[in-house]
Every structure is written in structure tokens, then in C-alpha cells.
Structure 1
Amino acid sequence: MTLGLAVPFTDPAALVAWARRADEGPYGRIGVADRIVYDNPEPMVMLAAMAAVTGRIRVQSEVVLAPLRDPVLLAKQSATLDVLSGGRFTLGLGAGAREDDFRAVGADHATRGRRMDEQLATMCRVWAGEPVAQGIAPIGPAPVSEGGPELLFGGFVPRALARVAHWGAGYACPAPPRSAGALFELVRQQWRDVGRPGEPLLVAQVNVALGPESTVAQARAALLRYYAFAPDLAEQTLQAMATTPAEIRAMVAAHRDLGAHEVMLSCWSGDIEQVDRLADLLA
């Protein structure tokens, strides 16, 4: 099992430094989250900057909310990132839950799932070099990864998870261990049902804060602010955050025992020293 790192919501210049430091450590990938109505960096732009200053680590959207975006443009951006990174780009996709994000861009929240399925078909045509409409030439650049960049999908419901087997390479699981096992097994079963060889990549996600009390306090405040729209969910997520060496080791071990191939350590504090602290703790 390998480790990944999901960076906090902070300014772009700081996240470039996070990427450089993570590239020197044991991490397999570094992830950037997506929101519209929030003060986070736009993920595709941020990942391009991270790809430019790293040479080994995979850069990943954690996850891009596809129904908020035009599929042809998203496919072109993704192919560009795949080329720029030398095949180190992972496109994590999700349908999105926050209605304010959809209102901000004039997208329909109610039909987001169906639209996402249509988007995936279009994006795969772009990556295959096929025209997306009659009389329109193929859209480049051609990705360096065969078939397009590595695709991961987030979500909880069976319809969302089925996209892994039909379109993707794996599943980005945002659930704690008590729920992740059943979700992992559903993804594996859907994978087998469509006759895919091998097994899906299973990537778990764990919210962490490792450091002095100021680091933990900053992480808790950031998490509560992010989930302010749902106080009950905020409190549950806060209680599940791992903030001690023992808790972090236990959470990683629990996901490993469930069969996760990678654990993404999601940092909510801007304390960059966590990159090295977590690496040393879990080496």
C-alpha cells in the first residue's frame, strides 16, 4: 500500500511548495480538491503548476465536479495536463453535492448524474482522437496515456460507483473504515460483473492533522468552515479526523486491512511541516 497527500485549501503559491516537498518524499500522488463557491484554487490550474515543479509524484484532482464543466474543454485540459506531466495526471471525478456550486455556473443540479455519464462518453471520444460532432476535426493534444489519463471516481451510491467499472481505473473513497469496506466490495463486484480484468484501484481518504496544537486547531477550524452548510456532517467529520500518531497509524492500517491500495492523507491545516511529519510517521 502506498500513501498520497491531499493539500489544504490555501493560496496557490503555498501549494506549489507542498508539491515540491511531497515529490521528495514517499507519496505516490498529491491531490487538489474542487469547489466553485469557495476560496480554493481552481484545481486544473493548480495541478498544472504542481506538475511543472515535480518529476515523480502523480498529480490528481480530488475530485473535479464534472457536471459544472463543459466536457470538451475538460477533456482538452485533462489531455494537456497528461502531456505536461508525462503521464502523471489522474483525473478524479465526482458529480458534486452542493447546489450553490451549480447555481453559480448556471448548471442543473437535479440532472447532474445523467449529464456526467454523457460527459464521460464525450471526453473519451476526445481522448481517442474522434470528432465530437459532424464536420468538426479531432481535438488535441493527444494524451500520452493510452485511452486518456487515469480516471478515478468518487461517490457513495451504486450508480456513482458503477462508473468505476464502466469508465475508470479506480475508486476514490471518502468514507471512514466502518463504511469503506462495503463500498470497496461493491466496486469490486461491479468490476467483475462487466468482465474487467484485474481489480480496480482502491484509494481511501483520511482527514489528518499532525503537529502542535495550533496545527490541529487550524485544521479543525478549516474543516468546520468547509462543512458549515451541514452542521451534523461537520461534527461527524471533525470527530473522525485523526490528530495523533496512534490515530493516524490506526486509520491507515484499517484501510490497508480492507484492501485499499493507497491512502490519501487529507491535510486541512496550512502547516507544510506535516508533509515530513506524516512521511516519518508512516515510513
Structure 2
Amino acid sequence: MTMPVMEPDLDSATLRAWARLVDEGPFSSLCWGERIAFDNPESLTLLGALAAWTDRVRLVTTVVIPQLHDPVMLAKALATGDLLADGRLTVGIGVGGRHEDYRAVGADPATQTMRQLADRVAVMRRVWAGENVTDATLPVGPPPVQSGGPELLVGTTGPKTLRHAAGWAAGLAGISLDLNTASQNELFDVARAAWREAGKPAPHLATSFWFAIGEGTAPREQVHHHLRRYMNWIPAEIVDAIAPTTGWAGTQDELRAVLGRFADIGTDEIHLIPTSTDMDQLRQVSEVVSDLS
């Protein structure tokens, strides 16, 4: 389950209640994404809070963009998060899709490449290994709880990008816009082959989609409203055109069926993305997931 970080008018009580209900429920992971030129909470600060608010669930960034950060400071922040979470951190990383986020922090949009991403991963790995990368008196710490650092997932929907990440990632944290399981399985097959060719264990295969649960037309309208707000860098008429087929909207029974179809293609994990802060929707999804566990 993903935190509702892209919803408006958030406060600490809402975020804390959401995190604790997820932690107490049947979910395997608690996720959240990063944007800069938006009014969402800052991702690494939120990591510290989520580590304190939860005890069981795995914490997964979906995704952090290394090019928006100094790699040594990012490695330090993530190692601190892993320490606070007692080794429950998984780091999904990607290049991002918005130049405005790069510009907002003074980062060069020309670095929005997988090569630049891999270079920053290499620096973070060196920091987590205890190497003195800054020629300081002591190496940059703290050491992460997980040996070698948190598990890394690549956030992508492209086969070429996925192949590029096989050398450093443990798997995929993707997104499915139209919930087409045949297309999703084709991407999974690319990952399976790339990881096999790299001589690595089978990849962790995760994808995500926006959701709204309920009866009638209200859920689809909710998804549409969310996309209008979230996809604010895209012309509204384009968002309106894709909204009827983007994400998922329906009843509990329909959600069970959708999750079953993703399970059939070997999906290890679905990172559900809420389109509301409504706790009742979280409880309804929790009931569905409990039935499938």
C-alpha cells in the first residue's frame, strides 16, 4: 500500500493513522513517492517518520530520484532510514519524468539518464560498504543495518532501461497504467531474462496502479480527479482522454479478480496507489488482501 502523499491538505495525524493501519494490516510493504515541485511531503524526512510509526511492514520508496540529491548525502539519509527501521528499507529509484523537479533543485535535466543513475548507485554502494569516499577522517556513516545497504529496485516501464539496471538492481518497481497483464508479463519476461544473463537470482517483480474502491461511478470519478491534480505537468485535455482507462476503479470483488490476474503472471508485489485519504477505502482494500493471503 502506498501512502496518500500526493493528496491535498495532508497533516501529521492523517499520515500517521494511514501508516499505522497499513502496518497493522495484511500488507507486505508501505510505499511513497518523490516529487519536488509539488506539495507532497519531502521523501527522506517522511522516511524517518514512517520508520517510527511502523514496526512490521517493509518501507519502500517508489521512487526516489538520485539525480535530485548529492549521492553521498542520499546514501547517508537512506542508511539512517534503514537504521531507524531496523533493516526494513527497500529503495526504489528511477530517473523521474519531470524536468521541473530537476530545475527546482538546480539539477541538470541532462543527467536524467540510466548511466547517470548507475553512477550514483555506485557511489552509494561505496558509502554503504564503509569506504571513505570523501577522504575525510572517518567514512560517511552510519552503516546500514542491511549488509551492503538496502535492496534496490528500479522504477521503470521500459525494456531498455530494465536491461540497463540488471547489473545493480534486485528487481523492478514499475507501474501499470491500463492494467494490461499481457503487456506487464512481457516486461517481466525482459527482467527475468536480463537478470538470468547477468548471473543474478530471479528479480523481484513489482508493479503498481492507482485505485479507488466503491460502487457505481464514484470510484472512476475519484481516479479522474486525482489524475487531474497529480498529472499537472500534462495538458488537462490529455489527462481527461486517458483517465477512463488509467488506474483501477471498482468493487471489492472486482479488485480480488484484478489482483488474481497479476498473481497469475508471477507478480511478487502490487504497490497500490490511493487516490484519496479516505481510511474506509484503505480498510476495504485490507479486507480484500486479507482474503487473498
**Identity rate, percent:** 38
Give the Å deviation of 1:187. 0.9
1:256 corresponds to which of 257, 260, 263: 263
> Do 1:152 and 1:169's aligned partners in 2 also have CA atoms closer than 8 Å?
yes
Which structure 1 residue ranges, 5 or more long, are not aligned? none
Q: Distance in 2 between matches of 1:88 and 1:202?
A: 18
**Alignment match, 2:250:** 244
Further displaced range: 138-147 or 154-163 = 154-163
Matched residue SS, 1:6: coil
Q: Does 1:6 align with 2:29?
A: no
Q: 2:112, 2:91 → 1: CA distance?
A: 18
1:271 aligns with 2:278: yes
Structure 2: how far apart are the matches of 1:254 and 1:53?
32
- Report deviation, 1:234: 5.9
Which position in structure 1 is the counterpart of 2:126?
125
1:237 and 1:116 map into 2 onto residues whose CA distance is 31
Question: What is the CA distance between 1:274 and its match in structure 2?
Answer: 1.7
Aligned mates of 1:218, 1:47 — CA distance in 2:
27
8 Å Cα contact 1:87-1:144 kept in structure 2: yes
* CA–CA separation in structure 2 for the residues paired with 1:259 and 1:65: 27
Which has the higher mean CA deviation after the structures are superposed, 247-256 or 40-49?
A: 247-256
Q: Unpaired runs of 5+ in structure 2?
A: none
Amino acid at match of 2:204: L
Which one is further off, 248-257 or 182-191?
A: 248-257
Q: Give RMSD over aligned pairs.
A: 1.9
Letter in 2 for 1:220: H
User: 1:209 maps to which residue?
Assistant: 212
- Aligned equivalents of 1:133 and 1:91: distance in 2? 23
The 1:73–1:254 alpha-carbon spacing in structure 2 relative to 1, beyond 3 Å, is same
Provide runs of 4+ in structure 1 moved above 6 Å.
none
CA positional deviation for 1:230: 2.5
The code of the aligned residue for 1:90 comes to T
Taking the aligned partners of 2:272 and 2:225, their CA distance within structure 1 comes to: 18
* Counterpart code for 1:194: A
Q: Matched residues in 2 for 1:178 and 1:37: separation?
A: 34
> Shift of the alpha carbon at 1:229?
2.4
Question: In structure 2, what is the equivalent of residue 49 of structure 1?
Answer: 49
Give the total of aligned pairs.
278
* Greater shift in the superposed pair: 152-161 or 71-80: 152-161
The one-letter amino acid of 1:77's match is A
